[in-house]
Chain A
Amino acid sequence: MMSDEALCQQVVKTLAEEFELDPQKMTPEATLYDDLGLDSLDAVDMVVALEKEFGMKLTDEQALRSIRTIDDLFKFLISIKNQ
């Protein structure tokens, strides 16, 4: 199974490519909307990109909506990986 650290690195790489972001700015505390400039359409595409990258289904809408920072996203994906 992929380590948590490797997963986090892969998340940063995937989103940096998808949204043309600078990986240096994708710190754990960076907020997706305010700091990284994503919006509601990007949130939809983020789920599509992550599902494709990790071959997992992200269907918990409530949990997805509560994600504010990169770290929130890491924790959410790690919890799914470990299920």
Chain B
Amino acid sequence: MGRGATVSLKRVVITGRGAVSPYGLGVDSLVDGVWANRSAVRRMPEWERIRGLGSYLAAPVPDFDAKSLLPRAQRRTMGPMSVYSAIASKEAVADAAIDDEMLTSGRVGVAIGSTTGSPTAYEDFYRRFLPDEAIEEIRSGEFFKIMGHTCSANVCLALGIEGEQWSPVSACTSASQSIGLGFLLIQAGRQEAMLCGGADEVHSSVTGVFDVVRAASCRNDTPTATPKPFDRDRDGVVCGGGSGVLVLESYDSAMARGAKIYAEILGFGHVNDSTHIANPHESSMARAMGNALADAGVASGEVDYVNAHATGTELGDVAEATAIGMAVGNTTPVSSFKGHFGHTLGAAGSLETVVLLEMLERQEVIPTLNLENPDPRCSDVQLIRNIEKRKLSVVVKNSFALGGVNVAFVMRRV
């Protein structure tokens, strides 16, 4: 390409959805659980023995038989999060009706991130390794469950994908970064389609991280009434597990295949606040949303709904509400899905987008479960209290992470 040549960016759409969530396997169980306003949070009595841990709450993926879904040769290198990713990816590919020829052509890639490799596999390894510093009896597959790119590597292997393989690893923004990356790669013409999303699994050490910084909910006796995003009586995060995977595809490819299009991704904003490793920063959140809107060429007044990251922490919820007020305005409907299925961390951005796409399909807004008494400091936004019919065209999805990461993207119904 010569100097000064203009690059024509491709339009990017979403043509497939897959989910393994705290409600079970499949998009249908996720959507059914959310529309029934059912909490997927439960008490974890086995955590009560852990000294110092105050939160015995989680939204784990219910037990299922992975043996019937994935052959041993694939499962041997998969911790739970990779199993979830592979199942969600297969569902997304089937939903998009991408055939094997396209899937294995090298024109399809993968971007699936997680907070870390599998914490369950870490525990297995160190239970064996630490007592007498021995690696005897460690199976060959253990490393592949622990490595940072375990989900994307195992998905490529399980589905025969030979395109680009990425693993954005940024805790709670992993999935949204992956969606943003897939958007950029398809826009640039490097890949025709990308499987994008994230995964994570429930583990006491993960909840423990939030408990250490006093950000975990400790309402152990009322599991289904917490977390309470935007509520004045919120007391913190409840961690969940699962994987959400979306098929992102060039508009041209989707049209040529006659694929169903759930939405078009119009813009992506991604900034670091460079202020504090843990504390949210409202103007940086607003900057991420502003950048996404500018990238999309959409005015703030055109936004019909914002799906908040809001996890149920005092600092985070108030900062985000303020930021939405700054970047989008105070009349746009806002809700968070954390009250339904907790904070699925690396999977949150994609699992929540699966639900958001269903909202676009149904033209209905899902309220924040467990929101009873809105915090007056969150009054900069229009908090939705019931399932409402609304005209939904342009929507914004927010994701924020420890480490100062602020991500937002803009989608439009096609």
Binding site for B on A (CB under 8 A): 19-20, 37, 39, 41-42, 44-45, 48, 51-52
Contacts and interface: CB of A to CB of B under 8 A. Distances in A.
A41 B137 contact: no
The winner among A41, A44, A51, A52 for most chain B CB atoms within 10 A is A41
Nearest to B67: A20
A48 B139 contact: yes
Given A19-B72, A20-B72, A41 B67 contact: no
B141 interface: yes
Nearest to A43: B140
A81 B1 CA distance: 69
Given A20-B72, A44-B140, A45-B140, 5 more contacts: A19-B72, A39-B73, A41-B76, A45-B76, A48-B136
Contacts of A51: 136
Nearest to B76: A41
Interface size range on B against A: 10 to 19
Interface in B98-139: 136-139
A21 to B, nearest CB: 9
A58 B138 CA distance: 15
A44 B76 CA distance: 13
A44 B138 CA distance: 10
Nearest to B138: A48
Contacts of A48: 136-139
Nearest to B71: A20
21 contacts: A19-B72, A20-B67, A20-B72, A37-B73, A39-B73, A41-B76, A41-B140, A41-B141, A42-B76, A42-B140, A44-B140, A45-B76, A45-B139, A45-B140, A45-B141, A48-B136, A48-B137, A48-B138, A48-B139, A51-B136, A52-B137
A39 to B, nearest CB: 8
B72 to A, nearest CB: 4
A48 B136 CA distance: 8
Interface string B37-76: 0000000000000000000000000000001000011001
Contacts of B137: 48, 52
Contacts of A19: 72
Contacts of A41: 76, 140-141
B35 to A, nearest CB: 38
Contacts of B67: 20
A59 to B, nearest CB: 12
A42 B72 CA distance: 11
A76 B177 CA distance: 52
Contacts of A52: 137
B65 to A, nearest CB: 13
A45 B139 CA distance: 6
A52 B29 CA distance: 42
The 4 closest A-B pairs by CB, nearest first: A41-B140, A44-B140, A20-B72, A45-B139
B39 to A, nearest CB: 36
Contacts of B139: 45, 48
Contacts of B73: 37, 39
A37 B139 CA distance: 18
B290 to A, nearest CB: 49
A48 B141 CA distance: 12
Nearest to A20: B72
A42 to B, nearest CB: 8
Contacts of A39: 73
A25 B299 CA distance: 66
